[in-house]
């Protein structure tokens, strides 16, 4: 039996890409107060290996450097309020056929499926998660190019 795990890799140092994107959004008239970015790895992993998944990802040097990254296990497998997840269209998730999936040349024991997305977390001027309308505006204006990317947002109907 497999379980779904979503793990973020976030920078612990200043994120120049997020700073540049925020400045660009503001110049384009999008009223975002702050913007954060993370790499998201969504895994379907055998239940027996699920607790070891974080340790395994910490060992993949191409995605995690302990001097500048932190790993966070998400409680759910969908965007939270104020978030948009952006992934490439047509880039299917990697699925294990024979043996373990590999990431950065390293095997991922027990992982049956692996997908990657970029999480953009937007905040309003008061530091609260941005409303769905603001998130959608930011995604459509800059954060997602619909010609080759797909945006998934938390839908709170505001």
The pTM score is 0.90
* Structural domain boundaries in the chain: 2-153
pLDDT recorded at residue 157? 39
What pLDDT, on a 0 to 100 scale, did the predictor assign at position 106?
87
| Residuewise pLDDT in 10s, the chain (158 residues) | 899 999 999 999 999 999 999 999 999 999 999 999 999 999 999 999 988 999 999 999 999 999 999 999 999 899 999 999 999 987 656 776 555 688 888 889 999 999 999 999 999 999 999 999 999 999 999 999 999 999 999 874 34
Quickly count: other Cβ atoms within 10 Å of residue 44's Cβ. Answer: 20
Tokens at 155, concatenated: 């839908």
């Amino acid at each position: 039996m497999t379980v779904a795990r979503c793990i973020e890799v976030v920078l612990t140092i200043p994120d120049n890409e997020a700073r540049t994107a925020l400045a660009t959004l503001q110049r384009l008239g999008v009223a975002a107060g702050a913007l954060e970015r993370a790499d998201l790895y969504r895994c379907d992993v055998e239940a027996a290996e699920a607790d070891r998944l974080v340790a395994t990802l910490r060992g993949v040097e191409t995605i995690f450097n302990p001097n500048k990254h932190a790993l966070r296990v998400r409680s759910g497998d969908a965007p939270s309020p104020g978030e948009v997840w952006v992934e490439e269209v047509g880039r299917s998730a990697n699925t294990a056929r024979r043996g373990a999936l590999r990431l950065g040349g390293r095997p991922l024991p027990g992982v049956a499926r692996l997908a990657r997305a970029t999480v953009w977390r937007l905040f309003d001027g008061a530091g609260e998660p941005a409303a769905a309308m603001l998130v959608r505006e930011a995604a459509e204006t800059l954060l997602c190019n619909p010609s080759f990317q797909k945006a998934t947002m938390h839908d709170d109907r505001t």
